[in-house]
Amino acid sequence: MAKSLPPLTWFRSFEAAARTLSFTAAAEEIGLTQSAVSQQVKSLEMRLGTALFIRYPRSLALTDAGRKLLPEVGSALEALAAAAGRADASAPEDVLTVATSVSVAQWVIAPNLADFTTRNPEISVRLLSAIWPDDFHASQADVQVRFGSEKQVGRGAERLWPDRLVALKAPTLAGDPFDLPLIEAVGTSSGWKTWFDKQGVQRQPAVFVDTFGMALHLAVHGSGVALISEFLAKHAMATGLVESAHDSTVECNEGYYLSADANNPAAALFRDWLLEQIRV
């Protein structure tokens, strides 16, 4: 059986880091945190069975394997971007395009979208899953909900609250973060380490995922305790899919940011509606 390919996100992090010779610069470019880029590159190295970088205290250098891989990965990413551009059919002018992460689409918009369409039957909505910063730029979306730091999301976006990180688990799962498996969403500056620092103890996560949405999904299915943005988890908590596993919370430097085309009445309606859902 043919061996499966590593995730595209790993290659994207490697390409950016190899081109800039900096995990920090790569993170700024592709809209992730430095720790997320570093971990994805490390995962790629483990999958390929070879080191791609020489890590110095303040710099990076490519190994021979890294130098050989870079042009091939760069060409492949360019080809994929070109193919996507040719294949992506633009939405009709009378359709409201909302670009957002899969996590927000699944856990915030989807549970409430019927309310918006019922109130505004004349507006058709196109949900566009966007991951990388250039996905948002290319989408020409009327409304965007992006995750990251204020610097990463750009000017003119408003942060969505509440955005503390809360410990959640399935109601059927007995225990707390001190004895249950921990689910870690990588790519943020705060996580379980920050949470346990407040408690004066240390524990290591058992499962690592790349989005809050997937961490929440695993928590719903009883896989352990996940540390999730309170904004994202609001519906799941209200409907009893998950419950608080501990009262302690931590602040998150990153968050979800909303922006809407001020010249598009439908975009303004969607923005106001989404803010209303958050306040309920």
The answer to whether residue 183 is domain-embedded is yes
Q: Do 226 and 266 fall within a single domain?
A: no
What total number of domains does the chain contain?
3
Q: Go through 114-143 and write b for each residue having 16 or more CB atoms within 10 A of its CB, e for each that does not.
A: eebeeeeeebebebbebbbbebbebbebbb
Residue ending a domain, choose from 28, 62, 87? 87
Average confidence (pLDDT) over 85-100: 72
Residue span of the structural domain in which 178 resides: 165-251
User: What would the pLDDT profile of 35-58 be if each residue is shown by its tens digit?
Assistant: 889 999 999 999 999 999 999 988
User: What would the pLDDT profile of 178-209 be if each residue is shown by its tens digit?
Assistant: 999 999 987 777 899 999 999 999 999 999 88
Q: Which position has the higher pLDDT, 85 or 71?
A: 71
- Residue 91 pLDDT > 60: no
pTM above 0.75?
no
Q: Do 246 and 174 fall within a single domain?
A: yes
Which candidate, 69, 38, 72, places its Cα nearest to that of 52? 69
CATH code of 227's domain: 3.40.190.10
Q: Do 266 and 151 fall within a single domain?
A: yes
Instruction: Check residue 138 and give its pLDDT.
Output: 46
Range with the largest mean pLDDT of 76-90, 139-153, 241-255: 241-255
Range with the largest mean pLDDT of 16-25, 163-172, 248-257: 163-172
